[in-house]
Amino acid sequence: MNIAESVVAEIKSTIDELSHLVPHYTRRTSQLTMVNDIRNILCRDQSSNVIVCEAGTGVGKTMAYLLGVIPHAKLNNKSVVISTATVTLQEQIINKDLPLFQAAYHKPLSVALAKGRQRYVCADKLNKALGTQQPELDFEEALFHLPPTEQDMATLRRMASKLETNDWNGDIDSWNGELLPEPIWSAVASDANGCKVSFSAHKFCPFHIARSELSGADIIVANHSLVAMDLQLGGGVLLPSVDEAVYVFDEAHRMPDIVRDATASTMSLSSTLSVLESLNKLADKRKLTAALSPSLSQRISDEIKVNANDLIKSLRALQDFVATNEEVLFHGSQFHRFELGTIPNVFESLLLDVQTSTKAVRRTLGKTGNHLKAEIIDEGSNLVAEKGLSDLSFFIGRIDLVWTTTNLLMTHHTAGIQPAKWLERRDGKLYLAASEVSVGNSLLSWLWKKNSGVILTSATLRSLSVFDTYLSSTGLNLANHAAVFCRVYESPFDYQSQAKLIMPINLPFEPNDAEYVTWLKHIMFNLIKGEPSSLVIFTSHAQMQAVRTAVEHSCTTSKILLQCQGDASRQAILENHAKAIEQGLRSVLFGVNSMAEGLDLRGDLLTNLIIVRLPFEMPESPIAAAHMEYEKYLGNNAFYTVTLPKASIALIQSVGRLIRSENDSGKCTILDKRIQTKNYGEDLLCSLPPMSREYRQVT
């Protein structure tokens, strides 16, 4: 029996075993077709094999790709990397889907969960933050962008105590105490420069312990952000390389934007200046170079100070220019975006000065690191040199951020869409920022040209019933089309009998009308009061809270549990919702579009879905605005090429919350009259599951 035949045999035996393990197991044609298509694609003798699978709700896409990928990978000595959009979905695959597959699969599988460094605390940084090592105020000032409060310090102390007694593994997702504000957590989280396993103080940092578990694992469950970081580094750094593993991207509709966000770079001018001042103070005291001979330590420290002061001067010149032109640049807004990615000459000249100074500082810090490494090599072990090298790496990381940000700001592509480039005022600080808008060319280089097999799957990959937008956003339209296979696997659900789309015939206002929110407040309680379980999806938190205020008293009086996204953790809200339904009470969930992502409310947990308005993305972010601007530059109507396709995917995602199994039933009401009055409305409706439609008045 050859390998291809062995793969088929293993798939069949695993499916047979699943039919015995799972009560009422059904062999769904769409799922089996997906398994077979994945197997066929992976067996092709090509340098790149990519399959795009849109699997409707109920197909069982997770089990389909596990069946199609794992037997092939095991028999071909490949590992499997499964990447999904969030840590929550990672844990679902680890704790639910893979154990079921393993129970049916006759070969043992080793599984590891991979998260980015930023999910783990760095034990050394935590100690520095608490001053449990030699008090170094200058270093601590550099460590924190914002000073920690007493409450923050108490949380940090609890973290350190739990870490020391092994009652916490250093993973923020497993921390059950009070959470730290993001800037404080970032300051003590592991980072690539300072938290290295080669440093004695970091050998047992939580990230390195977790990272060691990935080695040799058959299946690694990662997330899109981590995969994007690894690909940016050249691949095979944090995860197996694309020629050593089969990659599966679940919730693949999120992948292009997450990869794009990973290319973004932002630096705070004031924080960078603070770091450089701290670097100067440490150089003054020769703390970083304490392991070197006095003469060498003095010479290098002097060089650090000279170069750091040059960079400080360049950054302050940039800061002064922005302050002088504040009104012209910002017009009272939070952002100033450089149109079509073009930097004015005077600003470009200032950036060039910053880059020149940054290179000099980076070169000196690199040279300092080499001297410290030589001390360690010569003496076999030198804790003073290791400490200097660890602290030095912190500053190298900050200097590298200056280089990355300014370099992206100075980037100009000879063809295609330019990076989005902007200045931002936030929390009284000035930020320089830039991001690629399209990652197609990057993904072409990183993934599509050569791989051992890539599966991209989600319930929503088409927009307006075609794959074109997705292929363009991922760069798969640039790849050899013979190597890209796109397929739709229809849901097995009977939407005509299970779901009803309510089409209100008397909507008085469009969502942008001034009276719309007032009307929404007036009618919302009537739409939820008689329903066992409701989910209302808004497009803004402000609108959600306004409607909540209007209906909260009526809900309380009628003994209806009303919860809003943000009231508690997502898990706690859903547990409260399920408990209320189980007790025979009525329950309502209010949330924005992000809450609908991946939400699985089966049976009585959701019978009434209300979509307040069509999920058109407002080009408020500099990246979205740059994309729209580029489309206009090409002569396209950005609404039809960008906004409408994205809205189609988001709307399908939201509507997909209603029917999650063959036994579910319910209704969906869309309170946006544009879906009935605008030319594009029918296109959006045709992209939705084939629910029966009912036209009625809403009062």
DSSP string, 134-152: S--HHHHHHH-SSPPPHHH
Q: What percentage of the chain has pLDDT greater than the value 70?
A: 97
Res. 481: pLDDT tops 70: no
pLDDT at 482: 55
Bridge partners (DSSP) listed for residue 99:
none
pLDDT at 86: 81
Average confidence score pLDDT of the chain = 91
Give the pLDDT band of residue 160 (cuts 50, 70, 90). very high
Res. 249: pLDDT tops 90: yes
pLDDT at 577: 97
pLDDT at 687: 94
Cβ-in-10-Å burial (0-12, 13-18, 19+) of 444 comes to middle
Count CB neighbours of 547 within 10 A: 22
> Is 170 in contact with 177 (CB distance < 8 Å)?
no
Beta-carbon contacts of residue 297 (< 8 Å; ≥ 6 apart): 286, 289, 290
- pTM for the model stands at 0.87
Please give the DSSP secondary-structure letter assigned to residue 662.
T
Positive or negative CA dihedral for 161, 164, 170, 176? negative
Mean pLDDT over 113-126 rounds to 88
Give the three-state DSSP class for 325. Answer: coil
Token couple for 111: 């599984």
344-379 pLDDT, tens digit each: 999 999 999 999 999 999 999 999 999 998 888 776
3-110+216-251+459-489: what fold?
Answer: Rossmann fold (3.40.50)
pLDDT at 133: 43
- Return left, alpha or beta for 49; rule: phi > 0 is left, psi -120 to 50 is alpha, else beta: beta
Give the whole-angstrom CA distance, residue 375 versus residue 380: 8
Give the pLDDT band of residue 136 (cuts 50, 70, 90). very low
Higher-scoring residue by pLDDT: 461, 144: 461
Higher-scoring residue by pLDDT: 157, 380: 157
Mean pLDDT over 294-314 rounds to 96
Beta-carbon contacts of residue 258 (< 8 Å; ≥ 6 apart): 85, 224, 225, 228
Give the pLDDT band of residue 143 (cuts 50, 70, 90). low
Count CB neighbours of 402 within 10 A: 25
pLDDT at 146: 64
Residue the block writes with tokens 């810090």: 365
Phi, psi (deg, nearest 5) at residue 44:
-70, 140
Mean pLDDT over 668-681 rounds to 96
Give the whole-angstrom CA distance, residue 699 versus residue 691: 23
Higher-scoring residue by pLDDT: 624, 609: 609
Give the whole-angstrom CA distance, residue 448 versus residue 471: 12
Res. 410: pLDDT tops 50: yes
> Is 254 in contact with 223 (CB distance < 8 Å)?
no
Q: Containing H/E element for 38?
A: helix 29-43
- Tell me the CA end-to-end span of the chain in Å, nearest whole number: 68
Give the three-state DSSP class for 292. Answer: coil
pLDDT at 381: 66
Mean pLDDT over 398-424 rounds to 94
Give the whole-angstrom CA distance, residue 655 versus residue 658: 6
Query: Among candidates 621, 585, 618, which has minimal Cα distance to 604?
Result: 585
499-546 pLDDT, tens digit each: 999 999 989 999 999 999 999 999 999 999 999 999 999 999 999 999
Count CB neighbours of 298 within 10 A: 14
Name the E strands within 60-202: 79-84, 111-113
50-75 pLDDT, tens digit each: 999 999 999 999 999 999 999 999 99
Higher-scoring residue by pLDDT: 471, 24: 471
> Is 55 in contact with 489 (CB distance < 8 Å)?
yes
Res. 21: pLDDT tops 70: yes
Query: Among candidates 262, 265, 616, 542, which has minimal Cα distance to 424?
Result: 265
Res. 233: pLDDT tops 90: no
pLDDT at 476: 94
pLDDT at 406: 97
Give the pLDDT band of residue 228 (cuts 50, 70, 90). very high
Token couple for 417: 């869409």
Res. 251: pLDDT tops 80: yes
pLDDT at 142: 55
Query: Among candidates 483, 455, 469, 651, which has minimal Cα distance to 61?
Result: 455
pLDDT at 131: 74
566-609 pLDDT, tens digit each: 898 888 999 999 999 999 999 999 999 888 887 889 999 999 99
User: Is there a shared CATH topology between the 3-110+216-251+459-489 domain and the 495-697 domain?
Assistant: yes
Class of domain 495-697: alpha beta
Per domain, the residue ranges of the chain are: 3-110+216-251+459-489, 119-196, 264-436, 495-697
Res. 178: pLDDT tops 90: no
